């Protein structure tokens, strides 16, 4: 787990890291299944936005000075608060260490929220995770604490087991206006057994049923794993497009880190990466979505996230934004957000896009339908009154859906340049706000799997962003 230099090698249309550790010897790892995608993604790189407040100055160098330090290049787009280490599953691929010892107290949680808002001013989303967050005995109280005008949405990231069994609990979630991020890695017993430890088909179906019946806004989270569920990627897309209450779909190519991931069987030279999942989406949806419909996310490092927004047309069908938007001109529409927020930036960009589509409607796929849908979206999202951040999020939810692909890093593909631009963070009870992949690899107690010591890299001197430094 020491930091070393790597050669970035393009070979046979793929990208590899070649490393040589003085203790472990040479190693190779696949970083991207498509070299052209990897190279072209860097054209989306943009300067980050600093948080309003940082924890401390960088002294030893990334990733030792985490929390975040003044050398970090991006603020928090998605805070993930782990409110418990209890869980009702023992997933073979889990990245956390479920010690069954801690439920975060409401007063402590309130302090975490206050510290987060001190650093950010306001948050579009706050995710409550774990462990399994629905096992927290006071989760409804925590939702109340996080439900405020300067937080757009509160998302419960859950395996869904309690939702499917406890109707009153699901109704309480609905009444409080919370959202659900449902872990759904596939649709067959063998998939659940490999990734989650046992057949969950019936329990996942029950959770999906209650979410639909109550129309709880839902985001699907699909951990895409070679040999386990790569053949079911298209089914997840079809589910997203079929249900109005499902707002987004987040594919996460498997990262082999943490208590489970540290020992989960995986080949670093044969794994799913972002372009591999995108190619599977095109192949398994019959071209309904195409590789060209996806773009790297500019706010994070461009190798971290790719996404596609899909505009809802008035007949209920969806059309990817890339079919009618020039993202080289309208990059502000590429955001780390499950839905289009009703911000001034979004309004200006959509107005310009509408004018572009009007001028080229004969050249654009379903140009007239796109114009009508854009007009509807603008009228809905931007009423003649000021909106709170909470309202800004809600107004755009039925105007478009999204598909995100977020590849968290592990020791095989870790890239310090990516970590420095990370915008998915874990707020801690001691006030630190930890970039996700650095926290999972170097600071979390189970960083390298069972029976291995916590990773404590010693760098000696600060590492600058121009180096290619990996674990």
Mean pLDDT over residues 103-111, rounded? 96
pLDDT of 391:
81
pLDDT exceeding 90 applies to what percent of the chain?
A: 70
The alpha carbon of 52 is separated from its chain's Cα centroid by a whole number of angstroms, namely 22
Look at residue 465 and tell me whether its pLDDT is greater than 50.
Answer: no
Range among 154-163, 386-395, 436-445 with highest mean pLDDT value: 154-163
- Given a contact cutoff of 8 angstroms between Cβ atoms, the answer to whether 389 and 117 are in contact is no
pLDDT (mean) for 231-243: 98
How many residues are given for the chain?
Answer: 471
pLDDT at 227 exceeding the cut of 80: yes
Look at the domain 42-309+392-416 and name its fold.
Answer: TIM Barrel (3.20.20)
| pTM, full prediction | 0.93
Q: What is the mean pLDDT of residues 297-320?
A: 95
pLDDT band at 96 (very low <50, low <70, confident <90, very high): confident
Give the confidence band of 1 by pLDDT, cuts at 50, 70, 90.
confident
Question: In terms of C-beta density within 10 A (0-12 exposed, 13-18 middle, 19 or more buried), how is residue 58 classed?
Answer: middle
pLDDT in the model for residue 341: 80
Per residue in 400-457, pLDDT tens?
Answer: 999 999 999 999 999 999 999 999 999 999 999 999 999 988 888 644 444 444 444 4
How much is the pLDDT for 49? 85
- How large a percentage of the chain has pLDDT more than 70? 94
The pLDDT assigned to 471 comes to 54
Of 297-306, 312-321, 458-467, the poorest mean pLDDT is in 458-467
Lowest-pLDDT choice from 14-18, 71-75, 112-116, 368-372: 71-75
Residue 60: predicted pLDDT: 86
pLDDT digits (tens, 9 = 90+) for 125-154: 999 999 999 999 999 999 999 999 899 899
Higher per-residue pLDDT: 457 or 33: 33
């Amino acid at each position: 787990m020491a930091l070393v230099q790597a050669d970035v090698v393009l070979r046979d249309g793929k990208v590899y890291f070649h490393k040589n550790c003085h203790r472990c010897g040479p190693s190779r790892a696949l970083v991207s299944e498509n070299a052209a995608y990897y190279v072209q993604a860097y054209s989306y790189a943009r300067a980050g936005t600093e948080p309003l407040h940082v924890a401390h100055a960088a002294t030893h160098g990334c990733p030792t000075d985490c929390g975040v330090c003044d050398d970090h290049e991006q603020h928090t787009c998605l805070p993930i608060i782990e409110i418990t280490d209890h869980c009702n599953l023992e997933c073979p691929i889990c990245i956390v260490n479920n010690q069954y010892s801690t439920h975060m107290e409401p007063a402590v949680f309130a302090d975490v929220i206050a510290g987060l808002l001190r650093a950010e001013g306001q948050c579009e989303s706050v995710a409550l995770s774990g462990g399994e967050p629905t096992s927290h005995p006071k989760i409804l109280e925590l939702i109340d604490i996080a439900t405020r005008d300067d937080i757009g949405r509160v998302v419960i990231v859950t395996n869904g087991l309690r939702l499917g069994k406890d109707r009153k609990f699901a109704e309480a979630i609905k009444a409080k206006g919370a959202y659900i991020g449902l872990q759904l890695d596939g649709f067959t017993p063998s998939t659940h057994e490999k990734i989650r430890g046992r057949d969950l088909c019936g329990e996942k179906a029950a959770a999906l049923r209650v979410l639909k019946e109550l129309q709880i806004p839902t985001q699907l989270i699909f951990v895409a794993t070679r040999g386990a569920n790569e053949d079911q990627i298209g089914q997840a897309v079809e589910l997203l497009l079929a249900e109005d209450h499902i707002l987004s779909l987040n594919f996460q190519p498997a990262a082999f880190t943490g208590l489970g991931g540290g020992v989960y069987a995986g080949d670093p030279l044969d794994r799913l990466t972002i372009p591999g999942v995108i190619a599977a989406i095109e192949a398994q949806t019959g071209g309904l979505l195409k590789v060209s419909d996806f773009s790297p996310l500019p706010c994070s490092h461009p190798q971290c996230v790719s996404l596609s927004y899909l505009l809802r047309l008035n007949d209920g069908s969806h059309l990817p934004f890339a079919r009618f938007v020039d993202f080289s001109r309208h990059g502000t529409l590429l955001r780390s957000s499950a839905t289009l927020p009703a911000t001034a930036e979004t309004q200006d960009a959509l107005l310009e896009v509408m004018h572009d589509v009007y001028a080229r409607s004969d050249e654009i796929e379903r140009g007239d339908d796109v114009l009508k849908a854009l007009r509807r979206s603008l009228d809905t999202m931007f009423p003649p009154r000021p909106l709170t951040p909470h309202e800004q999020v809600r107004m755009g939810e039925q105007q478009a859906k999204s598909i995100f692909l977020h590849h968290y890093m592990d020791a095989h593909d870790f890239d310090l340049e990516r970590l420095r631009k990370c915008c998915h963070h874990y707020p801690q009870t001691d006030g630190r706000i930890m970039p996700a992949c650095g926290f999972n690899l170097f600071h979390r107690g189970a960083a390298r799997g069972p029976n291995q010591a916590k990773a404590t890299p010693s760098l000696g001197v600060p590492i600058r962003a121009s180096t290619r430094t990996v674990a």
